[in-house]
Structure 1
Amino acid sequence: MADRKVRVGILGASGYTGADLVRLLLRHPHADIRVMTAERSAGKPIGEVFPHLAGFGLPDLVKVEDAGWTDVDLAFCGLPHGTTQEIIAALPPSVRVVDLSADFRLTDTETYAEWYGHPHRAPDLQRQAVYGLTEWTRDQVRDARLVANPGCYPTAVLLALLPLVGGRLIDNSSIIVDAKSGVSGAGRSVKEANLFTEVSEAMHAYGVGRHRHMPEMEQELSRLAGEPIEMSFTPHLVPMNRGEFVTAYVKLADGAGVDDLRDALRRRYEGEPFVRVLGEGGSPATRHVRGSNLCILSVFPDRRAGHAIVLSVIDNLVKGSSGQAIQNMNVMFGLPETEGLEQVALFP
């Protein structure tokens, strides 16, 4: 595939995720955007919806039912959960898919129905789906027809905790995660709770005790541990556009120390282009990853003996969404994994 471009379609190009996909793909040397859909903005050029994307010769937006797929190799699906399953099921089998919704992340369809409020509408496709946390499922992603791109919170949490669970360095029954996200994580649709006067100069928790990303994180942690894992997780909305900051409070396993946690993260991600592990005392911030596909990790001792604090930061729209989706595309089509994702974080 490296000798020709991947012909791309974007379902849901008028959302924040779609806009960042377009932004990144425009500078991808092996990507050619052929189709973009948007229900309410169908018939418009993308520049009318996002002026920063004008002037690049992109196709006009169309409704999903009017999209042509004969000249498309890969579809990115950036539609809301609950709408993607039937649409993907109707795509030609020749079109490979990276789905950025939650519709194919949970392997158990009954768990999906419990957390998302309706039956899974494409169970046969679910059995084919590969969970796309690239650093951990690269080999499966390579040959997949359908990749379920992880959620933003799960990406930050799992990159931080999987090496510790896999190395049996923490007590799996005592994981507490406090997470904070920029407002773009709530999507672009008009909601009263996301109005400027509702979010500016304030912070609030949401999905308390039952956020929909919880079963996704527990699924992947349990899979690696070989036993069920339940965690405490509380997300918060903070008054910034982009960014995600995760603080995980963990109890050390017998005989493990804070340095062991840091060393495990370093060993697991050595050579990974998008994961950085800071040294002792290094503290990441969302401004260190803004606009990039990076995840930065750090470990601190807790003042309570036998406990540690693990920090993880990402840009929720890039590593937590569109950037990771392109990373998966690169793996699927045999391209260098960093292609189109070399952006250095915008600092300050």
Structure 2
Amino acid sequence: MPLHPLTDDDPELIGGHRLLARLGSGGMGTVYLARMPSGRAVALKAAHPALAADLEFVTRFSRETETVRALGALPHTPPFAGAGTDDDGRPWLATAYVVGPSLAEAVTAHGPWPEASLRSLGARLATGLAALHRAGVVHRDLKPSNILLMPAGPLLVDFGIAQAIGTDDRTGSAPGTPAYMAPEQLIPDREVGPPCDVFALACVLTYTACGLPPFGEGAPGEVLYRVTHQEPELTAVPDALRPLLADCLAKEPERRPTAGRRRPTHRRRGLVRGPAARRRPRRHRRPHRAHRTRPAAPHTPAAAPPDAPTAAHRRRRRGPRGRGRCGGGDAAGRGAAHRRHARAVPFPVPE
């Protein structure tokens, strides 16, 4: 994310955080690169002073703060760093500063992604959305500029219009970005749940694969008309992903799969593996040289030194003990007994 210098209207401190640069600005507020008193760099989002008296806006900002605070421990969201109100009464929210481009910047700079990278991105985003939904939160504004690319995986940011599952937004407005909004988000007083994030996920993946969202760009009214009345344009999407994205872009929310089931479905239909890719039978591999078993060498008894006395010699010196022993019988019998006993004693026996 590029840095921009501070302007004369920007304060030096907000909530004890020293402002260093601007990260971005919109109709609701400005995001700064700031430094905490401890020296930690944070991304600090501050509302415009003119909106500090708007009760509806303050309520929405407080809801975003509580959402970020609750999701700060998840691996797919930036850690929560602090929140409060400055001397002018405007609310602010700080999260850990993440050094990385957004998905929109990456696609603009380098073009559409190859299929393998698209599958990995889709699986990781689906995992992050499933974690959000298990925590009871719907993002409602998932788009390429709200996805930061990090070495460990993408991060979901900007929960300004996120809400808890099962709650209604009775403002009468349709918050969101037209090219990534689900049809049910355009219906007043309609409860919006996790299926709208699945719809936006398919739009994000189509943009990543083609450089354009599935319902095109243009005036907001034209885009919203195509979202509600026309089929998505998926011609440039890889063949392995087209049926999957078409299911996620269904007009009816109940027909879309859930984000929690996206990962195994991706494996089956090709987001992680291609549809025709099958595991090859595992070939028998020869064990490593160090692990190979060798046949044991036959045991060869060590021959007794000629000068070492054996048990037969000691018995012979002790005198005859009966026939058949070394001390009895003829010389041939004594020699055979000596040889038999010599073979039975593998090691020299000291006296």
Give TM class, smaller chain. under 0.3
> What TM-score results when the alignment is normalised by the length of structure 1?
0.26
TM-score (norm 2): 0.26
The structure in which a higher percent of residues are strand is 1
Bigger Cα Rg: 2
